[in-house]
């Protein structure tokens, strides 16, 4: 169904993302167990919603052109809906036909068509609020129709964008009102990541090789990154943010390319005739989500009739069944807390948002969510640059490495990464927890100096206890192959010679060595003899263990990796199957970025988001 559309069909398919793939009942098992949901640090949530929900403004924005029958069906369905006494305004945006030098006959016909549409609108009675009509002077197409349809006049104004070949359920508003009250105005269910809600039936996965949409019958509401163009509710703040982002990118000639997405090909063919690639790219760079319904039996609150016109060469018929009072066999207004809903990315892979470890128990539950093969990659991002961290995460995604945990101070960067679904350990909170537990009586002031060492040491202790092998690295390493390849079967402890990484196998002897290490660290801290010691974890721990006679296998990074230095680069060494790129902590960010660009390993764009979506079948 996704093959190259015929010429006539192109524009419409692009706007109607929902049309492309049939809902499949194919069972796809997600690799990750249910997470213990840990809410994100509440200080970054926006909670300025003192407004009572009764005060919000609801605008219906109908995008029309020259299809009188479609428009008439659309407006009738809107005026037949139950608005529960609320004021709801109707804004109709009528695009003009393109001014080309066709024969006078053709032009007369088009003028006549436009007059009929306008006459119908003038005669249409809207009794729920204002009716406002915007009639264009020239053809602007769908991108401008959507983008210029709305500039929110406050944070309490919501827009419902409706293309003219849609038909809505009489229940749509009651449901949408419930969503706004529950997920926008109830602070305990509010998330700044949610940009709106789609009333169309979810059908399409835009990431190439992504999962089929599969939801169980208990899932009535879920979150998905993709915009739904057949009945989209937009929340004001993210929409305004999008318009500003669009301005910036469009003005500077930055295109919304996103490799690995079916929609990228659409943009390459259709360019500015469509708007969705812009929004899709924006949503990807911000890590935002849309609320979707799953009502079973192909039912939805908004359906597209896919009428012949700009979008379809010939009428394709309704994509779904309208849910109405007679087919309602569940409580439409029952809305689960946001924390119970599942979140899906463009690959339709579940996103586990808000995994932040602050205690040993929380670290334990994150460990259970990150993998299947009982090994974990611990990446320390203390003092690392945000963009370099994000570039590294894009590489992990490309390599399908999912068993990592980021360890860093409780910064905006860290919480943002957690919000986007990356598992993190908040080193500040975890350290305070260790202190409060008096795990080794280190209230001593030099403990602060050792925060990094202690946090990592206790995370590894937890890994050992729970039976996970661990590979610890600083963010100044970029892996080019699977982590397993760094693990030498002959040794329980293994470290990079220039200390880029440190591996511990989960074994009883390693556990013993670790317990010994923690005792020594405690004694050292107790004596306050750590002044001037390196707080680099791998450096410290390797030195410590070797002084105490533990056998550590040293692997020479230079033999398996490429070091970034100021002097010129030997690019052919990449082809020699190197497993990593690394650099010393004092290397300038500029040099790192330049060298990675030379090696085509810089895979983030100007928004610090990955240049490609890479789906792996799960």
# residues near ligand NAG by CB under 6 A: 15
Is the dihedral angle over the CA atoms 255, 260, 264, 269 positive or is it negative?
A: positive
Distance from C-alpha of 320 to C-alpha of 19, rounded to nearest angstrom: 10
Q: Is 588 in the site for ligand NAG (CB under 6 A)?
A: no
Q: Is 576 in the site for ligand NAG (CB under 6 A)?
A: yes
Residue list 496-525, contact with ligand NAG (CB under 6 A): none
Residue 182 or 391 with smaller CB distance to ligand NAG = 182
Q: How far is the CB of 494 from ligand NAG (least distance, A)?
A: 23
Question: Least CB distance from residue 435 to ligand NAG, whole Å?
Answer: 15
CB of residue 102 vs ligand NAG: minimum separation in angstroms? 9
H or E segment and range at residue 322:
strand 321-322
Kindly identify the residues of this chain, within the stretch 63-102, that bind ligand NAG according to CB under 6 A.
100-101
Q: Which class for 23: exposed (0-12), middle (13-18), buried (19 or more C-beta within 10 A)?
A: middle
Q: Which positions from 179 through 238 interact with ligand NAG, judged by CB under 6 A?
A: 186, 188-189
Rank residues 407 and 517 by Cβ distance to ligand NAG and give the closer one.
407
Residue choice 103, 217, 570, 600 for contact with ligand NAG (CB under 6 A): 570
CB of 347 to ligand NAG, least distance (A): 28
Minimum CB separation of residue 549 from ligand NAG in Å reads: 36
Biggest CA-to-CA distance, the chain: 97
Q: Which whole-number Å values give the CA distances from 588 to 276, 383, 608, in the listed order?
A: 38, 13, 18
Looking at the Cβ atoms of 106 and 248, the one nearer to ligand NAG is 106
Residue 445 binds ligand NAG, judged by CB under 6 A: no
CB 562 to ligand NAG: min, Å: 9
573 binds ligand NAG (CB under 6 A): yes
551 binds ligand NAG (CB under 6 A): no
- Rounded CA-CA distance 539/572 in Å is 30
- Site map (CB under 6 A) of ligand NAG, residues 22-41, x = contact: -------------------x
Report which of 459, 461, 18, 487 is spatially closest to residue 228, judged by C-alpha positions: 18
Contact at 8 Å (CB) between 309 and 70?
A: yes
Using alpha carbons, select from 300, 294, 305, 292 the residue that is nearest to residue 327: 300
Alpha carbons 597 and 57: distance in angstroms, whole number: 48
Query: Which residues ranging from 392 to 431 are in contact with ligand NAG (CB under 6 A)?
Result: 410, 429
Query: Are 28 and 46 spatial neighbours (Cβ–Cβ below 8 Å)?
Result: no
- Closest C-alpha among 462, 460, 431, 429 to residue 448: 431
CB 346 within 8 A of CB 290: no
Nearest distance from residue 356's CB to ligand NAG, in Å? 8
Among residues 31, 33, 317, 337, which is the contact residue for ligand NAG, using CB under 6 A?
Answer: 337
Binding site for ligand NAG (CB under 6 A): 41-43, 100-101, 186, 188-189, 337, 410, 429, 570, 572-573, 576
């Amino acid at each position: 169904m996704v093959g190259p559309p015929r010429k006539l069909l192109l524009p419409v398919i692009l706007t109607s993302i929902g049309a492309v793939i049939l809902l499949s009942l194919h069972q796809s098992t997600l690799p990750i167990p249910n997470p213990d949901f840990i809410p994100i640090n509440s200080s970054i949530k926006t909670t300025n919603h003192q407004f009572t929900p009764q005060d919000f403004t609801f605008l219906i924005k109908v995008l029309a052109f020259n299809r009188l029958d479609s428009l008439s069906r659309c407006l009738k369905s809107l005026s037949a809906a139950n608005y529960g006494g609320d004021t709801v305004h109707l804004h109709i945006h009528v695009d003009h036909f393109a001014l080309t030098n066709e024969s006078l006959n053709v032009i007369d016909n088009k003028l006549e068509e436009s007059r009929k549409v306008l006459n119908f609108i003038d005669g249409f009675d809207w009794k729920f609020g204002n009716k406002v009509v915007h009639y264009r002077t020239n053809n602007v197409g769908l991108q401008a129709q959507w983008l210029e349809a709305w500039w929110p006049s406050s944070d309490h104004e919501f827009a419902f964008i409706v293309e003219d070949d849609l038909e809505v359920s009489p229940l749509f508003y009651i449901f949408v009102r419930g969503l706004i009250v529950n997920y926008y105005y109830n602070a305990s269910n509010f998330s700044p990541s949610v940009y709106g809600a789609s009333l169309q039936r979810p059908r399409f996965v835009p990431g190439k090789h992504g999962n089929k949409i599969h939801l169980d019958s208990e899932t009535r509401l879920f979150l998905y990154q993709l915009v739904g163009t057949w009945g989209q509710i937009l929340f004001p703040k993210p929409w305004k943010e999008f318009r500003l982002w669009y301005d910036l990118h469009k003005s500077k000639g930055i295109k919304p390319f996103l490799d690995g997405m079916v929609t990228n090909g659409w943009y390459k063919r259709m360019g500015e005739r469509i708007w969705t690639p812009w929004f899709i790219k924006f949503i990807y760079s911000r890590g935002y989500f849309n609320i979707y319904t799953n009502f079973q039996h192909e039912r939805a609150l908004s359906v597209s009739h896919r009428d012949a016109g700009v979008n379809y060469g010939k009428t394709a018929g309704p994509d779904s069944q309208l849910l109405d009072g007679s087919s309602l066999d569940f409580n439409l207004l029952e809305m689960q807390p946001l924390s119970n809903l599942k979140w899906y990315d463009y690959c339709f892979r579940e996103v586990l948002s808000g995994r932040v470890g602050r205690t040993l128990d929380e670290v334990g539950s994150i460990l259970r969510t990150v993998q299947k093969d009982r090994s974990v990659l611990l990446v320390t991002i203390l003092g690392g640059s945000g963009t370099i961290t994000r570039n590294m995460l894009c590489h992990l995604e490309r390599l399908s490495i999912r068993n990592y945990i980021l360890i860093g101070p409780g910064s905006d960067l860290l919480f943002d990464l957690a919000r986007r679904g990356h598992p993190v350990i908040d080193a500040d909170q975890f350290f305070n927890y260790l202190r409060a537990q008096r795990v080794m009586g280190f209230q001593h002031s030099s403990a602060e100096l050792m925060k990094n060492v202690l946090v990592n040491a206790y995370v590894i202790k937890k890994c050992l206890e729970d039976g996970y092998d661990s590979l610890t690295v600083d963010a100044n390493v970029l892996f080019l192959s699977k982590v397993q390849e760094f693990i030498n079967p002959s040794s329980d402890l293994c470290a990079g010679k220039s200390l880029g990484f440190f591996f511990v196998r989960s074994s009883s002897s390693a556990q013993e060595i670790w317990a010994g290490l923690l005792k020594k660290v405690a004694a050292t801290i107790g004596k306050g003899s750590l002044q001037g010691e390196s707080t680099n974890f791998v450096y410290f721990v390797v030195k410590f263990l070797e002084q105490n006679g533990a056998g550590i296998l040293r692997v020479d990074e230079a033999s398996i990796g490429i070091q970034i230095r100021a002097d010129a680069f030997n690019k052919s060494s990449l082809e020699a199957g190197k497993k990593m790129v690394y650099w010393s902590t004092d290397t300038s960010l500029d040099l790192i970025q330049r060298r990675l660009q030379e090696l085509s390993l810089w895979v983030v764009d100007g928004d610090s988001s990955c240049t490609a979506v890479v789906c792996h079948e799960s």
